[in-house]
Amino acid sequence: MKLWQKNKVSLKEVEQFTVGNDRELDLQLAPFDVLGSLAHIKMLESAGLLTKDELALLEKELKEIYRQIAEGKFSLDEGVEDVHSQVELMLTQKLGDIGKKIHSARSRNDQVLVDLKLFMRSEIEKTVEATKDLFELLLEQSEKHTDVLLPGYTHLQLAMPSSFGLWFGAYAESLVDDMITLEAAYQVVNKNPLGSAAGYGSSFPINRKMTTSLLGFGNLNYNVVYAQMSRGKSERIVASALANIAATLSKLSMDCCLYLNQNFGFISFPDELTTGSSIMPHKKNPDVFELIRSHGNRLQALPNEIMLMTTNLPSGYHRDLQLIKEHFIPAFKNLQACIGMTGLMLSNIEVKKNILADEKYRFLFSVEEVNKLVLQGMPFRDAYKKVGLDIEQGKFSHTPSVQHTHEGSMGNPGNDAIRRMMSDIIQKFNFNQVKIALQQLLS
C-alpha cells in the first residue's frame, strides 16, 4: 500500500531504490505518527470534516495502535511503504471508508514533518536528561578531587599546575554551553508544521493553532512554504547541537586515553571496564573511551553531511530529504549511549594522588615562583627573566603548592555558579508542557 498510488505500479527496481531504509527507520516514528493523527482528526471534526461518531471511532483505533507500538507489537505489513500507509491501512481494515478520511487536509509531506519534529522533541528530552546526569557526576567528582593536583599542558608540553577538580569541572561547564545550543535547537523544532500539507496549504477551513495546542508545540511554522523548507534545516540545527555534546565527550575521552597511558599514569579503572590483548598479558586498553571518541567524531561530521545534502535544493519538497533520516535518526541513540558509557567510566575512575611530587614536574611551578617575586615588588619582566635564568643554570627551586583564589581557579572553581547555569538552561526547555498536552491527547 502506498498513499500516493493510483492504478499504475512502479517498476520493482524503482520502488526498492526509492523506499530504501524507510520501512525500518519509520518504526521509530510510529508513535509520533499516531500522535499527529490524533491531533489532526480532532481538528478535522472541529472543521466539520468528520462527525463526532467518526472521530470517536478513529480515536479508539488510533489509541489501540499506539498501545501496540508501546508494547512492541506493531510492524509494517509486506508491501506497505511506510508507517503512514500502515496506520491508514489498519484504520481502513477496521473502520472501512472512515479510515480513509484521516488524510483529508494533509499531505505525506507535513505528516513526515510533524512525525520528525515530535521524534526530535522526544529524543532531545532524553538527551537532556542523560546529559544532566553526566553533568552532576562531573561536578561531584570535581568537588571530591578539589585538592588533587594534576599537570596542566599547553602544546602537550608541561605548563602549570592544575587539579582534577578543575579538570572534571571544565567538562561540566562545557556541557552547559552544549545545553545552550541544544535548547536553541529545541526552540526551532518545537514549532508545528501540520497543516502546511504539500507545502502550499489547504483549501479546507483547518485550524492549525488547534493542532499546535493539542501536540504541545510552542508555536507554529506559520508560512506553509517555509514549513517545508524547515525539513533538513531543523535536522541540521539539531545535529549541530548534538555535535557539540559529542565534541565535549570526544575531548574528555582523549584526555582519559592519555591519562591512563603508563607514561602519564594519572588515572586507572577496574579491570572489568578495560580490555586486554590477545598476546600481551599486561594490557589494559581504554576501548570504551576510544569508541566514544570515534562515535563523537562521527557525530561531529553529521551536520556537514546534512548541509551537503540540502545546500543546493530549491524550495519545496525533494526526495533527497529522505536520506537524512538514515544517519540522523540513529544519532540520538548513539550519543545517548556515549553519554551513558562516559558516566559509567567516570563513576569508577581512580585518581592518583601526589602526582606533582615527581621531580619531572618541578618546572610546572615556575610561574608560581615568578608571581612570588612580583608580589615582593619585582617588575614582572625582571622576575620572569630571573626565574628563566635560574632554570637554564640549574638553580631553580620551588615550593610545590599553589594559592589560587580567583573565580574559576583551583581554590574557587565556581561549581555552584556552573550548577545554577545548567539549571537555568534546563528549565527553558519546559518539557512538562509537552507531557501534559500529549497525556491529554491520549486520555
**Looking at residue 281, what is its pLDDT?**
65
Phi-psi label, residue 5: left if phi above 0, alpha if psi -120 to 50, beta otherwise: beta
**Looking at residue 9, what is its pLDDT?**
58
pLDDT in tens, 20-31: 677 778 899 999
- Tell whether the model's pLDDT for residue 88 goes beyond 80: yes
Q: Which three cell numbers stand for residue 300?
A: 561531529
pLDDT in tens, 56-72: 999 999 999 999 999 99
* CATH superfamily name and code, 12-103: Fumarase/aspartase (N-terminal domain) (1.10.275.10)
Side-chain-facing half-sphere of 264: CA atoms under 13 Å: 19
Please say whether the beta carbons of 102 and 37 come within 8 A. Answer: yes
The rounded mean pLDDT for the chain is 93
- Tell whether the model's pLDDT for residue 4 goes beyond 70: no
pLDDT in tens, 284-303: 889 999 999 999 999 999 99
pLDDT in tens, 391-422: 999 999 988 888 899 999 999 999 999 999 99
pLDDT in tens, 218-252: 999 999 999 999 999 999 999 999 999 999 999 99
**Percent of the chain's residues with pLDDT above 70:** 94
- Report, at the CATH architecture level, how domain 108-145+164-355+413-442 is classified: Up-down Bundle (1.20)
Question: Is the pTM above the cut of 0.85?
Answer: yes
**Looking at residue 104, what is its pLDDT?**
94
User: Domains of the chain: which residue ranges?
Assistant: 12-103, 108-145+164-355+413-442, 358-412
pLDDT in tens, 174-202: 999 999 999 999 999 999 999 999 999 99
Please list the active-site residues: 155, 277
pLDDT in tens, 68-86: 999 999 999 988 888 999 9
Neighbours of 399 (CB within 10 A): 9
Give counts: helices (H), strands (E), the chain.
Answer: 16, 6
pLDDT in tens, 320-347: 898 999 999 999 999 999 999 999 999 9
